[in-house]
Amino acid sequence: MTSLTLSLGPLALVKLHDALTCLSKFSDTVAIEAEHSVTRVDGRGSYQTQSQGPERFFCQILIRALLSIFRGRVDRNKDTAVERCEMEIHEDSNQAECRLTVKMICGLGELSQTSRVQRKLNILGVIKSYKLTYEPAAIQHAVFDRSKTTNQWTADPRFLKQIIDHFSMSAEQLDICAEAGKATFTSFTTKITEGKEVLKYPVHTSVTCDRKDFEEFLIEENMHIAINLKDFKAVVAHAETANATVTARYTLPCKPMQLAYEFEGIRAEFTVMTRGEVDGEEVSSARAVIPQLSQRPATAQAATPAPISLRRNETPRVAPSTEMPPPPARARSIRPLKGGSTQENLTPRSTMDRPLASASMDFDSLFVPQDDDRQWDEMNDEDEEEPQDILGWDASGQETFEPVLRDIEPDFSKPAASRKKSRNNNDEMGLPPTQRMSQVRGFGLFD
């Protein structure tokens, strides 16, 4: 039996509420991950607060349900009289139901400073209990290797907010580019509108500001990288409540970008997908890694424990042989998530059909590079049955030259060190993705 109890004071409650509000902009469910000293709340970003738990525990819960408990009780400007919030989870294999019990304890223990009448009321106290259903879940973390960062900027959230304020409400994407010591943020929308409805086209807004307005500004010139504007807004809004400076780290378009900030024991990291034109010639090794960042690769990795990580196969430069090499030794069991049929359709074909044009790309990103997407389109012309956005899960363990997503069942019982080791062993055959293609839809990249 697993049990988790944690207790939040009024301040922590406000922080949790703010974090959940922020995460609700990313996803409907929030994953809660508890270790002995750390609780990680995860939508597509991660978030931590102090707690106690007997062992590592994972679950996911509807954010709306959790937020509704806080409604009216969490207000940073008001004394909402919630003294303490206690959360409890007891997972029993004999019980079918998974319930998170939340108790809001109001008005206890404020005896000393209050008048007699109020004291009477306070002695009564109110405890509000809620029971929420959760689902056990395997939590997947987006992997982001800070030591490989080649572009980085840091800015005050209020400054970023001022930039955002210029954008129209309907804008969907945000392009970031540096030119001649200036940074340009441009909002745009990829949605194709009917030619006649010109007036419904969104306004394009670009804001150019001096690098001096950033606290740190190390960006490759003339490289355009685009992210989802709503994500960015949510991140900045949350950072603004905490007045924490936001740092963006990234390498190339179509590779993940991490937006991170820290405040008062909370570390927020949002790994978001990006889009943009990749110049095919350039390989990431040609770009200098930001030196000051590589100082702490070890701590960065330790600080961002990733029970599951994604690793796409490196595409070799040599011509592929049609014969598959034998599957490498597996440290962990592999199971297909989506059934084997798609995988069987995709893997061999992609191996043979894929031209070597994109061979120079380093496929260690979370996302399918745009060039790659076009390749998929061409194939679909030949075969109508294949929906273009379905990626198969390669359970075969066969070596392919395609960045196929694979799933590996996480083994959480192992200590972190041995997991890491086994991950290294698995490098040859790839590790599972952090996002399903279906979840990525709607953000423009795969539409």
Partner 1 sequence: MRFRTQLKDTKTFSKLTASLSSLGKVCWMRLEYDVVRFTIIPEQGTQVWAQIPVDTIFEENTYEMESNSEAINIEINIANLNRALRSTFGSSQSQLRLTKKDKMPLLALTVLSTDWTEGNMALATEEGTTDHHDDQPGEVTGDRRARERETRITQEIPIKILHESAVDGLHEPHCPDPDVHIILPGLSQLKSISDRFNKLASTDSKSRQQQTGLGLGAVDNSNSNANSNAQPGSGLSSSSGPKLELSANMHGKLKLAIATDELRIASVWSALVNPPLDPAHISEQQLSQLPSERMRGVGEDDESGWAKVRIDGKDWSRVLSVGRLSPKVVACFINETALVLYVYLPGSWNGEESCLTYYINSFAA
Site residues for partner 1 per CB under 8 A: 154-157, 159, 162-163, 165-166, 168-169, 198-217, 243-245, 292
CB of 258 to partner 1, least distance (A): 19
Minimum distance of partner 1 from residue 181's CB (angstroms): 9
Distance from C-alpha of 286 to C-alpha of 198, rounded to nearest angstrom: 43
CB of 183 to partner 1, least distance (A): 10
Identity of the amino acid at 336: P
User: Which CB atom, from 69 or from 219, has the smaller least distance to partner 1?
Assistant: 219
Cα distance between the two ends of the chain: 44
Burial of residue 5 (number of CB atoms within 10 Å: 0-12, 13-18, 19+): middle
Is the separation of the CB atoms in 419 and 307 below 8 Å?
A: yes
Q: Which is nearer to partner 1, 62 or 207 (CB)?
A: 207
Q: Is 194 exposed, middle or buried (0-12, 13-18, 19+ CB in 10 A)?
A: exposed
Nearer to partner 1, 40 or 249 (CB): 249
Nearest distance, CB of residue 174 and partner 1, angstroms: 14
Helix (H) or strand (E) holding 258: strand 257-263
Which residue number, 288 or 319, has a Cβ lying nearer to partner 1? 288
Quote the CA–CA distance of 119 and 106 in Å, as a whole number: 13
Q: How many other C-beta atoms are found inside a 10 Å radius of the C-beta of residue 271?
A: 22
CB 420 within 8 A of CB 306: no
Nearer to partner 1, 71 or 196 (CB): 196
Nearer to partner 1, 245 or 313 (CB): 245
Pairing, β 173-179 against β 57-62: unpaired
CB-nearer residue toward partner 1: 208 or 294: 208
Nearer to partner 1, 101 or 205 (CB): 205
Q: Give the residue with the Cβ less far from partner 1, 4 or 219.
A: 219
C-alpha distances in Å from residue 200, one per residue of 188, 215, 323, 351:
13, 37, 53, 43
Q: Which CB sits closer to partner 1, 203 or 329?
A: 203
Task: Count other C-beta atoms under 10 Å from residue 197's C-beta.
Answer: 8
Report the nearest approach of partner 1 to the CB of residue 211 (Å). 5
Read off the tokens for 377: 């389109």
Least spacing, CB of residue 180 vs partner 1, in Å: 12
Least distance (Å) from partner 1 to the CB of residue 366? 29
- Cα–Cα distance, 167 to 89 (Å, whole number): 43
Do residues 13 and 3 make contact, with C-beta atoms less than 8 angstroms apart? no
Per the structure block, which two tokens stand in for 310? Answer: 């994604």
CA distance 425 to 176: 37
Q: Are strands 225-228 and 182-188 parallel, antiparallel or unpaired?
A: unpaired
Give the residue with the Cβ less far from partner 1, 91 or 216. 216
Measured from the CB atom, is 55 or 210 closer to partner 1? 210
State the DSSP string of 49-72.
E--B-SS-EEEEEEHHHHHHHHTT
CB of 235 closer than 8 Å to CB of 44: no
Least Å distance between CB 200 and partner 1?
7
Cβ-contact 357, 371 below 8 angstroms = yes
Identity (one letter) of the amino acid at 313?
N
DSSP-assigned letter for residue 221: B
